Structure 1
Amino acid sequence: MARRGGGRSKDKGSGNSAEPRDVQISKAMSWLLRHGAKGEGIKMDANGYINVADLMAWRKFHNLSVTLSELHTIVDTNAKQRFSMIPLPSTTSGPPDDDPSHYLIRANQGHSLAISSENLLKPILATDPDFPSLVVHGTNDEAWNGIRKSGGLKRMSRRHVHFATGVPESLDKDRVTGESNNTSTQKAAKNGISNERGDIVIGNQGAETSLPSTSNSTEATKVISGMRANATVLIWVDVARSMDEGGLKWWRSDNGVILTEGDAHGTVSMDWVDRVEMKGTGKTLWTRAEDRK
């Protein structure tokens, strides 16, 4: 299926001068941390972190005259909790300081850069007490038709296909849910693929890190972000079946996004889809059971 809507891996870090300053900074940082660090000559470690001093010296941040205090505020208050900012282990014994080189920062998910899932994310296991038996991906009508014809959701240029365990309340007053014990959140990606503006995130059930975290604390089941407002279709995937029969690996990001690389072809097959619904109304568009008749 052709990727409509444009790629997100090209330089989108400039922002729009008509947008609020915090939005400009957040968009620039999202692009750099997810897609552009290597091309910009900024060193990124195996866990996806870069040094904040390098971020502050980056040409676009330099042009915006971003301060460390401003960066702390943007990371801590970002509605989608896209970023993790931590002190270097060698500096954690003392009080917080204002030296940018004493901090590391990364995007929590949405990368096109080659970062190992094991280093970035927490694996989801069948024995987990919060194992998400069903997860949901939001898209639109046109993309759903393409997804069905192509045989499933594709990760395209991204490292993963993005999901969540429920539908954001702010975008679905009818609270369409997969199961009564799945009450978190989800991200929708336009045209059936993930991008940073569509990321669905859930509560504080994120990946553990070997480095101390100083931000991104939320209630365990609080929906902190949601689908794009134009998402109209919900694709519910059976995680257990995909693991047992398809061998798919599943992950959870620091900000609660549910992710998978898909199969060897980067696809989450329709074989693992449980049902497809219209968002809000719950009208069924497709079910595995009906398709097998």
Structure 2
Amino acid sequence: MSSTDADMLQDRQERRQAKKDRKRQEPRQHTSGHSKGEGGRGGGSAKLRGLPKDSHDVRISKTLSWILRHGSQSEGLAMRPDGYVRVDELLARPKLRELSLAALQKIVESDSKNRYNLVFEADPKGGHETWWIRANQGHSIKSVALDLEPIGCHADIPSGIAVHGTNKHAWQSIEHQGLSKMTRNHIHLAQGVAGSGIISGMRSSSQILIFINVQKALDAGIKFYLSDNGVVLTAGNDQGFLPPEFFSRVETADRKPLSGWDGPEGVPATSSDAKPPMTDDTISSQSAAGGTAGTDGGLQSAIAANVDGVEGLEKKVKATTL
């Protein structure tokens, strides 16, 4: 299941559970006179998000992620346009009261996918410095405008690759309608597959890998961005889709291409000023291109360049020999 698919399924399950929790709490709040900040719509319940099988730490992480990506309003948290909320207000929520600043900092530092960003800066409203936190991507809150880095061409992606992971069932519809951002602000694309050193953008359990021709999509007017943690993001077209015409290759998790989808993965990023190594073939072609009059000069220059390179390498080897 893709990261987006799994999150949306879990969100639906947890919303239903949260609704049940609120209904159970409302009569008690009415009779006891508790404020909204103690539970219910104004401050959220104290129940952690996640599934019963999840460990306590996992449920804390899922709760933090959900609040910062989707649930700040239901938790009564003020969120800046760039997605940051005050840490002191976050840790005052019933769900996270057991969490200290030190524990939160440890979660942020140890997160394998670099999901969060912590900053210590002045409060725009009050002037004094305080801690702020945000999720680096994955929001469904429409008012959040992250300071994302625009991608102007394919070469702006460090790895040269943008790939989305999903499951076999979802692929049946994606193959025809394309990738959808669904309720989120963006479609998420990783810069590589699991195990390739990529830290974020795809679940390791993905069954189908969809590689995107980013340059073709850019040329068609679709915008792409890089998040702080290296995830490639796009809102897709006007309907929120990235159509199949921009899929360059689709393969299974064991790297076997699907029938009809055996194109390239992407364009590996290379330095614009990199020069190919000098070979006998390139020397011959350069000599031929120079014509009869320039043959000797071009050939001698090429040979001299190679000789200088070899001699320089030999000197370095001698200098470092023990």
Indicate the TM-score class for this superposition, using the shorter chain for normalisation.
Answer: 0.5 to 0.7
Counterpart of 2:245 (choices 271, 275, 278) is 271
Matched, 1:160 2:186: yes
Amino acid aligned to 2:72: A
For residues 169-248 of structure 1, the aligned pairs below 5 Å read 169=195, 222-225=197-200, 227-244=202-219, 246-248=220-222
**1:23 shift after superposition:** 1.8
* Cα displacement (A) at 1:275: 1.5
Query: Residue 73 of structure 1 aligns with which residue?
Result: 106
For the residues of structure 2 that align with 1:276 and 1:128, how far apart are their CA atoms? 21
Post-superposition shift, 1:6? 2.3
Write out per-residue CA displacement over residues 114-150 of structure 1, whole angstroms, 9 at most, x where no aligned residue: 1454x3422112285545654111111111111113x
Instruction: Go from structure 1 to structure 2 and tell me whether the alpha carbon gap of 1:88 and 1:146 turns closer, same or farther (over 3 Å shift).
Output: same
What's 1:283 paired with?
Answer: 257
Secondary structure of the residue that 2:80 maps to in structure 1?
coil
Structure richer in helix, relative to its length: 2
2:194–2:204 CA contact under 8 A, matched in 1: no
Indicate conservation of the 8 Å contact 1:22/1:74, yes or no: no
- The one-character-per-residue Cα deviations of 1:73-94 (angstroms, maximum 9, x if unpaired) are 011001111110110147xxxx
Which amino acid in the other structure matches residue 111 of structure 2?
N
Deviation at 1:52, TM superposition (A): 0.2
1:157 partner amino acid: T
TM-score normalised over the length of structure 2: 0.62
Bigger relative CO (Cα 8 Å, ≥ 6 apart): 1
Distance (Å, rounded) in 2 between the aligned partners of 1:127 and 1:234: 19
C-alpha contact (below 8 Å) 2:191/2:198 kept by paired residues: no
Percent of pairs identical after alignment? 35
Shift in CA distance, 152/130, structure 1 to aligned 2, threshold 3 Å: closer
Q: Could you report, residue by residue, the CA deviation over 1:228-275 in whole angstroms, capped at 9, with x for unpaired residues?
A: 34311111110000010x201101111111110000000001111112
- Quickly say closer, same or farther: Cα 1:288–1:272, change in 2 above 3 A: farther
Question: For the structure 1 residues 226 and 256, does the alpha-carbon distance in structure 2 shift closer, same or farther, using more than 3 Å as the test?
Answer: closer
- Residue 285 of structure 1 aligns with an amino acid whose one-letter code is S
CA offsets 1:52-87 (integer angstroms, 9 cap, x no match): 01101011012xx11111111011001111110110
Equivalent AA in structure 1 for residue 164 of structure 2: H
Tell me what 2:131 maps to.
Answer: 103
List gaps (5 residues or longer) in structure 1: 91-98, 170-184, 186-221
Contact 1:232 1:279 in 2 (8 A): yes
List gaps (5 residues or longer) in structure 2: 19-47, 264-322
Q: Which amino acid aligns with 1:8?
A: D
Contact 1:168–1:226 (Cα < 8 Å) also in 2: no
Letter in 2 for 1:14: R
For 1:31, the equivalent position in structure 2 comes to 66
How many pairs were matched up?
Answer: 222
Question: What's the secondary structure of 1:110's corresponding residue?
Answer: coil
CA contact (8 A) 1:133 1:238 kept: no
**Following the alignment from structure 1 to structure 2, what is the Cα–Cα distance between the partners of residues 56 and 131?**
36
**Residue 148 and residue 274 in structure 1: after superposition, are their counterparts in 2 closer, same or farther (change >3 A)?**
same
Cα RMSD after superposing both structures? 2.7
Q: Would the aligned equivalents of 2:190 and 2:200 in 1 still touch at CA under 8 Å? A: no
1:13-92 → structure 2 map (5 Å cutoff): 13-16=48-51, 19-62=54-97, 65-89=98-122
C-alpha distance in 2, partners of 1:14/1:70? Answer: 18
